Structure 1
Amino acid sequence: MLNMRRERIKRVLPLLAMTVPFFLLVVTFSYVPLWGWYIAFVKYFPGESVINSEFVGFKYFAQIFSAGSQFENAMRNTLVFSAVGLILSPLPLLFAILVNEVRWKRFKQFVQIVTSFPNFISWIIVYSICFTFLSVDEGVINRLLVNLHILDKPFDFLATSWLTWFLQSLISIWKSLGWSAIIYLAAIASIDPEQYQAAEVDGAGRLQQIRHILIPGVMPTFAVLFLLNIGNMLSNGFDQYYVFNNPLVHPKIDVLDTYMYRLGLVQLNFPLSTAIGVFKSAVSVILVFTANMIYKKVNGKGII
């Protein structure tokens, strides 16, 4: 018995040793930076010592909710973009199902490459593409609509406030749809082919197979991604909303990440900016655990 335990330890020990570097990387890049949260509790100014700064407790957290219309506006836009993202979250799953049904292999690969490619384009280039198509002076779409007499004069798509939420959501979907569908394609590929064969024997058509085999097979993956998206409701990202920002659409495109950037790197108010970051992290954790608890009660099991 003792010899068996020793042999087992000898087998497991090298595997555990291989995980040590990755564990250290996680600690270094995910937990050590949490020391920076201390800035949210002190009266800090760049160039001064954080340790020697005056401790003010939750002063800056109280300022978050008394910061006025800028924070409220950024929070509203953040929640709107996140809500639209959650509502449209089934689109990658639907797209993956459609791609999976394509029987021409080369065309299927072509569609996957073309739709996944935008994910690797920087937001600067995306903005340049949108400017080329949507600008007032030389925009291709504007010239086309004017030449077809659909518009009397060019329309400024990128500087129209009421159109911002819809346009930015559309651009975000275009950029991420193909890449997000890859996860679902992998989940579809993992479904046992014998289930489809058994369904064919029972006389089930392709739509019935999709409804009763494919969709239930990928629902656990969809649930995990949906819960993670709920946890990221206050983190829309920075790049997209920064490059598309201009004075005319600022009230509708300013989100918490761009607001934190202005507070910290423009106004040098690092404590308040850090406090908002801590607030975002705390809310994200609460949302994830709450959503997981609800999912567990409904489905009988959770992801955490």
Structure 2
Amino acid sequence: MSTIAAAVTTSASEIKAKHAAMWALGDYPAVAHEVIPATGPRLVEAVDIQAGERVLDIAAGDGNASVPAAERGASVVASDLTPELLEAGRARSADSGLDITWQAADAEALPFRTHEFDVAISCVGIMFAPFHEAAARELVRVVRPGGRIGLLAWTPEGFIGEMFTIMKPFAPAPPPGAQPAVLWGSEAHVRELLGARVELTFRKELLDVRRFGSGADFRDFFKRTYGPTIVTYRGIADQPERVAELDRELEALGERYRDGDLVQLEYLLTTGTVR
């Protein structure tokens, strides 16, 4: 291997290691089960998973969509880059009797055969793979012709999209060539990624969240549990003025969206049939 190739490989492996470590921080299962538990079942319903189908859940976390898919009688492979999340999912489903295999996998280089699955899904997961074209290519590759895909992603203009916009000036620089996660919540972007290979249908929906009594409650919960927020704050920990500024902006975001104890999170639901 040339020196240049070795450097590129090392850089790619470092990116993956940092990405996996970020999602192991905090308590993402608390986000999945206290804030967005309805998203997994909604995705499974939208793609109409059937008993006996072979299903791949990409960037599955601890199984927010994998478990309801398996509850329909599907044989599910729950894949994720972060082993700690897979372990949480494995423990969660250990006594369920559901047909779920928990497997470490990179969304941009899936270790599965071409056309291996009837359905591939991802619930606010694949959107965080930094290199979108690679992830999209792998998503389609592993699904048989006539099989289906289902994706749920936060929109750029919704609550979570705004949160990432606020955090961006405070966050570490992304890897060269990486694209913002919330672009997966843009119909135009998904059409560009998948439209030549998948017959697509889109629907924007709102998730009702009744978890936060104030903007400060929202901010503090995400500071404690959510990997990207934790990493952002760690990067400015030695700059108290910047920490205070980000605190104020995230609290204001929560207050702006809050109606009593209700916050609505907008997402794009993409379903399609592989050509």
TM-score by length of 2: 0.25
Query: Is the strand fraction higher in 1 or 2?
Result: 2
Query: Is the helix fraction higher in 1 or 2?
Result: 1
Larger Rg: 1
Q: Identify which of structures 1 and 2 has the higher relative contact order when contacts are C-alpha pairs closer than 8 Å and 6+ apart.
A: 1
TM-score by length of 1: 0.23
